[in-house]
Structure 1
């Protein structure tokens, strides 16, 4: 069979890459030899769910519910826009992995020097740590709300989540995907149930999906920036470019590669639509139940209490709603633990080519995230407002790291030299990618300035 230019490119990249990304699961999931759309979609579905988790993690919850409580349905359009940007970026990330056989960390390291590679690794690790802080805090508070554990115990218990992941990896990557999808379904069902009880104003809700100039007012813009900043996560770009390579297909046949890109995109867009729905449900709950009470909803505990307080949530308030909220919070934390730990592995191997035992790498990744939360918890005696401030501060690292992830992603996937003529971004896709990169960079730096000015 005659090999194309792109095929030769693939070989060249594999020699750069210092081994496949996430070697133990790379090329491990078989694909049916069939042209049936639904069979292929089912076989390729899974990586998108692990990516979608990052778009509905505990870090989004207070922002989305708070946005609804403060401004009603106005910011629904911001969630829609954030989700569309996410779909574009995740499509590029999956395509980079499938076409070049490298994840984003490996591709970046292949085109930078050793010193710059180490700097980028440190910044990316800080971003993963910042993301993980939200999961640790969310998980610890959920354990306290459900079982009455002191926060210090809850934070310590989250370290053992890593052991759960080690067991799951032995079962195979498909099992991990199934568990993540199950937890996402639990979260979605909880919030659909709560929204149905809340009886939202459907016409106002649909109207909120259309952008309105009121979003540009100072307070609304600040909240909108918070939603965008909490939605588009840099670590997801590294993760998706790696786990998109878990499927088995003929990597030297461009038609098979094109098929993998096509179905990875379907998978990603379907799962991100589910994340969009969850974020909309959160904002709808905020608007339908808590409009006018935004000053009472600063922490996870205050949200938990408000769902059971008839003076705030009205006639639908009940302890059942509060418990379901805590269950969904715990499910979200568990999901994000799985993806955060995998991403830590991807960036460590990709940027600094460090290969240490799987269990050690995962324990180190988790400990790095737990230490700052433990310090704040002990120092402030388990004060939730202090933990909430830590959570807000952690978003600053995400804001700094996002352009560092987006710029190389858009550049590499738009390059004919790297992707080949068939798989490089079309002009309009590349243009949209650069517009989103510039827009999000400006918005994120604006968010940093506002966050820092609020501290002083």
Structure 2
């Protein structure tokens, strides 16, 4: 689908922005998937508004990294996986591919749990059967992909609108104290010194900055038919970064709204033990005094799970083709990935009951965070290399900011491993 979507070279700026709008929103899906819900609800109920600063930081990191991913795709005509294959040794590529596949499985694990929980809350379907039903989403993927990339984008944006509307309504119902919300966006040292807070903070970063999104964005940004000339690439990059930045601000609102709602509804009322989506569903309406509050949570969760399914499948195909030059049917790819995600859900649910899936959900987000350096470091190296990028190579300040983000991710992961080892 490279260069399959026409973009106007002249006319009103808003018309050109609409032509480029789409890839950013597909990427934004990964920043508000069910994995975010678990970490945001746990963070809000246990620590109030404290972790809002982590959500803000992770979102700024996401905006920067996704802009770099778009820059790579537009400047070189390669996605991140193809660039790795072109410039790294085969063993290195295999290692990076395996790390990325682990991230996709962890992401898919969160989608399975989130969608299954939504089916249970809305229709009373047991969690085990809901997880099995999730495998049937392969037919949705096939239908959308057969209708073209623009139809895929329209579907994703429609569900994002549903999620946004649900949480906007919940924020109004929760009536948070504005001064406390604003104070939450100021970083606190307790986030680093408290191992429990750090664990959730790293989970938030892992749930927000998704490794496979960097591969996805660097590929799908090339669906726009901007002129493949120096001037055309510069204009294409400008519009692509605008698109992704606007979309990720929507993701910031949704993630912050989840945590704010949990803090206002649970933490402020002494319910600091709420760490599961189902607990939040059961308590939300009684505590807020609005019957529809819990239903809005479940509807948004289902929309989030379906949306994440679409983008994760596309990212998986891009990664496999880029690293291995191996193309398999979308339905087969989806069944393999989803099968690997369903197995741990079935095992944990059978052994520990449905309560065990909440811990599995948060753990999957920490796994995602652990995979981030394997995507971020190659990306920063490529975009700062003038031989590969030409005039679109990052400048000194942007390169410094990118390496600072990569360094922060590595340090946080080392701290998490150390705390986990000491606890063990």
Task: Judge same fold: TM > 0.5, yes or no.
Answer: yes
- What do residues 393-435 of structure 1 show as CA deviations (whole Å, max 9, x unaligned)? 3234313311010000000000001101x10001000000001
- The structure 1 residue matched to 2:354, chosen from 352, 377, 384, is 384
Match of 2:62 in 1: 86
Match of 1:128 in 2: 104
Structure 1, 123-132 or 365-374: larger mean CA deviation: 365-374
Distance 1:387 1:157 in 2: 17
Distance 1:122 1:329 in 2: 29
Are 2:396 and 1:427 equivalent residues in the alignment? yes
Distance 2:334 2:82 in 1: 19
Are 2:212 and 1:240 equivalent residues in the alignment? no
Match of 1:231 in 2: 208
Match of 1:67 in 2: 43
- Deviation of 1:143 (Å): 0.2
Relative distance call for 1:448 and 1:161 in structure 2 (3 A) is farther
Match of 2:165 in 1: 189
- Deviation of 1:445 (Å): 2.9
- What do residues 58-98 of structure 1 show as CA deviations (whole Å, max 9, x unaligned)? 11112212222222222222211111111000000011111
- Where structure 1 has 5 or more consecutive residues not aligned to the other structure, the ranges are 1-24
- What do residues 346-391 of structure 1 show as CA deviations (whole Å, max 9, x unaligned)? 11111111122333223323223223223333444xx222212222
Relative distance call for 1:280 and 1:372 in structure 2 (3 A) is same
CA contact (8 A) 2:202 2:369 kept: no
Relative distance call for 1:448 and 1:51 in structure 2 (3 A) is farther
- The structure 1 residue matched to 2:27, chosen from 51, 58, 68, is 51
Structure 1, 218-227 or 298-307: larger mean CA deviation: 218-227
- The structure 2 residue matched to 1:77, chosen from 53, 78, 83, is 53
- Deviation of 1:269 (Å): 0.2
Relative distance call for 1:319 and 1:450 in structure 2 (3 A) is farther
- The structure 1 residue matched to 2:376, chosen from 396, 401, 406, is 406
Relative distance call for 1:113 and 1:184 in structure 2 (3 A) is same
| Residue aligned with 2:358, SS | helix
Match of 1:348 in 2: 320
Structure 1-normalised TM-score?
Answer: 0.88
- Deviation of 1:162 (Å): 1.7
Which structure 2 residues correspond to residues 197-236 of structure 1 after superposition, within 5 A? 197-218=173-194, 219-236=196-213
Distance 2:79 2:422 in 1: 36
Match of 2:7 in 1: 31
Are 2:264 and 1:288 equivalent residues in the alignment? yes
Match of 1:15 in 2: none
RMSD over aligned Cα, in angstroms? 1.7
Match of 2:408 in 1: 439
Distance 1:140 1:425 in 2: 42
Distance 1:350 1:42 in 2: 28
- Deviation of 1:449 (Å): 4.0
Match of 1:137 in 2: 113
- The structure 1 residue matched to 2:150, chosen from 163, 166, 174, is 174
Match of 1:368 in 2: 340
Are 2:242 and 1:270 equivalent residues in the alignment? no
- How many equivalent residue pairs? 422
Relative distance call for 1:244 and 1:115 in structure 2 (3 A) is same
CA contact (8 A) 2:40 2:204 kept: yes
CA contact (8 A) 1:226 1:447 kept: no
Whichever of the two has the greater Rg, that structure is 1
Relative distance call for 1:207 and 1:370 in structure 2 (3 A) is same
- What do residues 206-240 of structure 1 show as CA deviations (whole Å, max 9, x unaligned)? 23223344444415444333322322111110111
Are 2:79 and 1:109 equivalent residues in the alignment? no
Match of 1:308 in 2: 285
- The structure 1 residue matched to 2:275, chosen from 298, 302, 313, is 298
| Residue aligned with 1:33, SS | coil
Distance 1:442 1:339 in 2: 29
